[in-house]
Amino acid sequence: MSGGARSTVEASQALVGVAVRSLAEALEQVTLTQYRALLLVVTRGPQRSGLLAEHLGVHASSFTRVADRLVQGGWAVRRENSENRREVLVVPTAAGRGLVEGVVRRREEEITGILAVLPPGRRRTVERGMREFAAAADEFWGFDAPAAGPAL
């Protein structure tokens, strides 16, 4: 493994710890797949079920059940696409937005604390590197828009 990959894997281990702690409360209410779907529709706007299934790496029929549970739980609604009446979009509700925003807020608080340990110059370097990494990940995974939020 190259030095860059090794250091990125090491940093990712710390970030996974932050992600897991920030998700703990939310995962008492939704599954990880449901949360990831909510995150996508909150950060990237209403999405077609097929596109969400593709981005989550699940079969479309499996995603239909995920969407059903989000709707039943009051986390999302299905809406007809005004641009193409044959398409149905998954749209977050206020409760769904609140769930995602709570996770992101907890994550930001913890990351802010970690970054505060670094001297300002090194903190800015890490921040730039993380922005570039997020953009590269979006490109690698085929997202059209720049990163609008965390992947988890």
Q: How confident is the model at residue 147 (pLDDT cuts 50, 70, 90)?
A: very low
Q: How confident is the model at residue 89 (pLDDT cuts 50, 70, 90)?
A: very high
Max Cα distance, the chain (Å): 54
Q: Residue 71 above 50 pLDDT?
A: yes
Per-residue confidence (pLDDT) for residue 4, from 0 to 100: 76
Q: Report the C-alpha gap between 41 and 53 in whole angstroms.
A: 12
Q: Residue 68 above 60 pLDDT?
A: yes
pTM of the model: 0.80
Q: Is 22 exposed, middle or buried (0-12, 13-18, 19+ CB in 10 A)?
A: buried
Q: Give percent of the chain with pLDDT exceeding 90.
A: 68
6-51, pLDDT tens digit by residue? Answer: 888 988 999 999 999 999 999 999 999 999 999 999 999 999 999 9
Q: Report the C-alpha gap between 53 and 57 in whole angstroms.
A: 6
Find out whether 22 and 47 touch, Cβ atoms under 8 Å: no
Residue 49 vs residue 85, higher pLDDT: 49
Per-residue confidence (pLDDT) for residue 150, from 0 to 100: 44
Residue 135 vs residue 142, higher pLDDT: 135
Q: Report the C-alpha gap between 43 and 12 in whole angstroms.
A: 21
Q: Is 77 helix (H, G, I), strand (E, B) or coil?
A: strand
Question: Which residue ranges form the domains of the chain, and what is each CATH number?
Answer: 12-116 (1.10.10.10)
Least trusted range by pLDDT, from 55-69, 117-131, 136-150: 136-150
